């Protein structure tokens, strides 16, 4: 057989294509149809206040539980804190310019409750309010629509009992009323809370997040209830204090159940698992009650519910935000639940964070299951992204091809949901910047802009270049 060099092989392929009158595609170019998203689909990025702002003790901001937790030895990687983070408190105009350069239409940001109310309630802090006025106005001047999350885990440390107290739920509603009334002339999209399980279970049951407690099941379940009650009371407060047409939702990291094989039986198993696996949080919010199966399972440890609680908790929402990163595979079974979870083997691929297993179909099933089970009017992907072992080259580049792979495959699956008619309205990539990654400190990078923390200089990664093109074309190839 003739020894064909790589160059000869390329010539042979080109010649064969020409002879067969094939379309003129460059070698390696996909012949698949591009995945065009619906007209008006919104592209954005997401961040959280404690992860990027810094200025932890400036201009009257009070401490949050994360300030105390991160300053407690052994609680975060390397003792890292959010004291400075990305210094976005001072560099917000630079960050808005990064958003502008990407071409996004939207930006999901959170407000530090203790920057507005240093004691969690009482007198507001004018300098804290002024800061958020400046950020919102800068976004609008750059034609970027703010989507604001009112609580992204940084609970004011001054509130007695934290989420163990019903009074905290009421204080949150008062804060939500004040802040949305103040911003409601310019902001029309609000999310109450971010990821119930992270600020309840991880903070009060497992102790891995602030405030670092390990409560028994009964008190921990009451914390869960106080969390969803806070959401419901805040929805009512926002409705009462903003103009008609204001959109209200939440951002939830619902467990995403994916049929291990797409058979009718496994698809039904994933649907059943979606209700039961999210029973304490999203199911309770969207159904306005606890599932009987959940209450039976918890028994004497079930949360105490007071009259009127579920009238608030079940308040209708304009949209559901889903934070989606990784799948939980299920198959149909003869168990009482009708499904069983498939445990991934040790060889299962993951990103830099060990928990972040790769399964891009989860974004499709997350949307599909939530829409099929609860018939929600609209869905946003309020977070999706990944950690990577990013390296800044001497030329100032970060070639994060693994992140591009992760994002491309997730967006291809999100397009599947949109093409099938599910009401997906927008996508917020996590995250605009490398930032303080909670208990992982600065050891994990999720941003599409590399941050050199000693200098606070931002560098766009390959993923930022790729995402800019996706936005410009409103499609993923």
The residues annotated as belonging to the active site are 195, 383
Residue 109 contacts residue 151 (beta carbons within 8 Å): no
Q: Which two tokens stand for residue 303?
A: 């949360």
Q: Which two tokens stand for residue 152?
A: 């992204």
Distances (CA, A) of 96 to 102, 397, 433, 456: 10, 21, 11, 15
Q: How far apart are CA 333 and CA 259, in angstroms?
A: 12
Task: Give the 3-state DSSP-derived string for the chain, with helices as H, strands as E and coil as C.
Answer: CCCCCHHHHHHHHHHHHHHCCCCCCCCCCCCCCCEECCCCCEEEEECCHHHHCCCCCCCCCCCEHHHHHHCCCCCCHHHCCCCCCCCHHHHHHHHHHHHHHHCCCEEEEECCHHHHCCCCCCCCCHHHHHHHHHHHHHHHHCCCEEEEEEECCCCECCCCCHHHCHHHHHHHHHHHHHHHHHHCCCCCEEEEEECHHHHCHHHHHCCCCCCCCCCCHHHHHHHHHHHHHHHHHHHHHHHHHCCCCCEEEEEECCCCEEECCCCHHHHHHHHHHHHHHCHHHHHHHHHCCCCHHHHHHHHHHCCCCCCCHHHHHCCCCCCEEEECCCCEEEEECCCCCCEEECCCCCCCCECCCCCCECCCCHHHHHHHHHHHHHCCCCEEEEECCCCECCCCCCCCCCCCHHHHHHHHHHHHHHHHHHHCCCCEEEEEEECCCCCCCHHHCCCCECCCEEEECCCCEEEECHHHHHHHHHHHHCEEC
Give Cβ neighbours of residue 201 (< 8 Å, ≥ 6 apart). Answer: 220, 224
* Pairing label, strands 449-452, 339-341: unpaired
């Amino acid at each position: 057989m003739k020894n064909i060099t790589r160059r000869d092989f390329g010539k042979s392929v080109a010649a064969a294509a020409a002879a067969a009158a094939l379309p003129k595609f460059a070698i390696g170019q996909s012949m698949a149809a591009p995945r065009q998203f619906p007209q008006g689909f919104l592209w954005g990025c997401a961040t959280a206040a404690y992860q990027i702002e810094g200025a932890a003790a400036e201009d009257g901001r009070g401490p949050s539980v994360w300030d105390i937790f991160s300053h407690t030895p052994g609680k975060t990687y390397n003792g890292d804190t959010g004291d400075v983070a990305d210094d976005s408190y001072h560099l917000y105009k630079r960050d808005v310019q990064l958003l502008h350069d990407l071409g996004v239409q939207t930006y999901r940001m959170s407000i530090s409750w203790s920057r507005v109310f240093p004691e969690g309630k009482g007198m507001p802090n004018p300098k804290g309010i002024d800061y958020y006025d400046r950020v919102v106005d800068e976004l609008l001047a750059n034609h970027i629509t703010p989507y604001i999350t009112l609580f992204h885990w940084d609970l004011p440390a001054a509130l007695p009992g934290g989420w163990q107290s019903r009074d905290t739920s009421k204080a949150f509603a008062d804060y939500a009323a004040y802040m949305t009334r103040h911003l409601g002339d310019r902001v029309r999209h609000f999310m109450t809370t971010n990821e119930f399980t992270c600020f309840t279970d991880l903070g009060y049951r497992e102790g891995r997040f602030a405030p670092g407690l390990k409560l028994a099941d009964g008190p921990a379940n009451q914390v869960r209830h106080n969390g969803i009650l806070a959401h419901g009371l805040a929805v009512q407060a926002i409705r009462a204090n903003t103009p008609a047409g204001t959109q209200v939702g939440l951002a939830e990291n619902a467990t995403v159940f994916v049929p291990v094989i797409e058979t009718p039986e496994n698809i039904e198993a994933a649907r059943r698992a979606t209700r039961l696996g999210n029973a304490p949080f999203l199911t309770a919010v969207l159904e306005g009650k606890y599932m009987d199966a959940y209450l039976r399972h918890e028994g004497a440890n079930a949360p105490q519910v007071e009259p009127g609680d579920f009238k608030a908790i079940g308040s209708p929402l304009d949209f559901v935000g889903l934070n989606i990163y990784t799948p939980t595979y299920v198959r149909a079974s003869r168990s009482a639940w009708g499904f069983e979870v498939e445990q991934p083997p040790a060889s299962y691929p993951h990103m830099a964070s060990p928990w972040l297993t790769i399964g891009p179909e989860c974004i499709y099933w997350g949307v599909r299951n939530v829409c099929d089970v609860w018939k929600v009017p609209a869905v946003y992907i309020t977070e999706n992204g990944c950690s990577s072992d990013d390296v800044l080259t001497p030329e100032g580049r970060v070639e994060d091809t693994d992140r591009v792979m992760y994002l491309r495959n997730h967006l291809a699956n999100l397009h599947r949901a949109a093409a099938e008619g599910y009401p997906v309205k927008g996508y917020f990539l996590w995250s605009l910047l490398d930032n303080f990654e909670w208990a992982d400190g600065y050891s994990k990078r999720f941003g599409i802009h590399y941050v050199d923390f000693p200098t606070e200089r931002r560098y766009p990664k390959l993923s930022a270049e790729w995402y800019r093109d996706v936005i410009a074309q409103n499609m993923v190839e």
